[in-house]
Amino acid sequence: MLDTARIRPDFPILGRQENGQRLVYLDNAATSQKPRKVIDAIVHYYTFHNANVHRGAYALAVEATDAYEAARTAVARFVNAWAREGVVFTRGTTESINLVAASWGRTNVGRGDTVVVTAMDHHSNIVPWQILCQEKGATLRMVEITADGRIDLADFGRALEAKPKLVAFPCVSNSLGTVNPAAQLIKLARAAGAVTVVDGAQSSPHLRVDVQVLDCDFYALSGHKMLAPMGSGALIAKPALLEAMPPYHGGGEMIERVWDDRSSWNKIPHKFEGGTPNVEAAVGLGAAIAYLEKLGMERVAAHEQELARIAVDRLSQIEGVTVYGPPDHRAGVVPFTYGDIHPHDLATILDKDGVCIRAGHHCTQPLMRRLGVAATARASFYIYNDLDDIDALVTAVRKAGELFGVPA
């Protein structure tokens, strides 16, 4: 496991006391905390290098542009992108997917076509496709999940028989923690002639990702779940696809020439980055990637999987607790319910002990309907979580049982 005693001091917020107790932050699937190096990178950028990028003819503007583009190089290296030009900065996974739906989708999906998503997708990888399909008169096909929380491969195969134009799925489920067999799914989808979109929001922070090995067409990630600022993120795509796609937002920076009645477009990725970008977010993302690369993503994954394994084990020992998700191929996400205590009540009670968990539908209402629950409690781990955090979680959950008198 990672040396959390050395990692934790890097995160100023973990020094905060919650109701007089140590902060136990277990809502990492929602957003991660930020290390000092990321916070410092943002402060440093504004203190010494701030100017608008790709515009100014003066040294400061060149420095800002260099900082911004260096972050692009870092993202490209981190996921082994096909090319630097295939990394488009966005506000996060949601915007990345909306970009694909609005640009590639509107151009390539028409009446009678099929788009495939899965029942474990986050709303951000469902709703943009619903909007597209409704606009185009296309069919949205949702692939079912198995009882133990995996993508139903038989149903996936059936969905591909419709020769879908596009297949979208999450690399890792935010709600169940399932690590999907992404490369296998992509291979099957590609053989059926589909373009593939991978929601990487829960994989890029936690696993080693190589988009060229995956061989997907689009990969979306959010910086804020991987130590970087809110509002940072990227769409990683095969450059040829981006070249052929129309722009997403019109404005400055994305144009080559503007006539009175029409315009021509800038080169990729700038064609998709209309307006002044969030340079601070990109710089922070670059610093976050440097931090993660130093730890090594294989070690990050092993650390979280071990914490999840122990948490599943210990929570399961509490009579009345149900843990959701598959027994294996699980990332550091542990969804559970406890007797008839509503997850919101659990979250409030845990919060009293400084334990932050998420309670609700986790932006996966189709999945919740299939699980037959309105909501779950979810503990999710990251690099700074340790066994003490699991102790605090288990102790607080037991306390909730006592308060509510859960029948054993």
Partner 1 sequence: MSSAPPDLSELYQQVILDHNRNPRNFKRVESANRKAEGNNPLCGDRIQLYVQLDGDTISDVGFQMPQGSGCAISKASASLMTEAVKGKRMGDAEAMFEAFRTMLAGGANAPGKLAAFSGVRAFPSRIKCANLAWHALHAALEGSAEPVTTESAKDF
| Contact residues for partner 1, defined by CB under 8 A | 16-20, 340-345, 348-349, 352, 359-361, 365, 368, 372-375, 403-405
Q: Which is nearer to partner 1, 310 or 373 (CB)?
A: 373
Report the nearest approach of partner 1 to the CB of residue 340 (Å): 8
Residue type, 242: L
Report the nearest approach of partner 1 to the CB of residue 354 (Å): 10
Query: Exactly one of 133, 171, 216, 363 is catalytic; which is it?
Result: 363
- How far apart CA 342 and CA 174 sit, in angstroms, is 20
In terms of Cα–Cα distance, which of 28, 206, 216 is closest to 125? 216
Report the nearest approach of partner 1 to the CB of residue 127 (Å): 13
Q: Which two tokens stand for residue 1?
A: 């496991």
Cross-strand bridge partners of residue 391: none
Prior bond of 269 cis (ω within 30°): yes
Report the nearest approach of partner 1 to the CB of residue 202 (Å): 20
Report the nearest approach of partner 1 to the CB of residue 368 (Å): 7
Is residue 216 part of the annotated active site? The answer reads no
Angle value at C-alpha 82, between 285 and 183, nearest 5 degrees? 95
For residues 346 and 367, the answer to whether their CB atoms sit within 8 Å is no
β-pairing verdict for 218-222 and 195-199 = parallel
Q: Which is nearer to partner 1, 242 or 396 (CB)?
A: 396
**Buried-state track 1-28, b at ≥16 Cβ within 10 A, e below 16:** ebebeebeebbeebeeeeeeebbbbbbb
- How far apart CA 140 and CA 161 sit, in angstroms, is 14
CA 237 to chain centre: 16
Q: Which is nearer to partner 1, 20 or 259 (CB)?
A: 20
Q: Which residues are catalytic?
A: 363
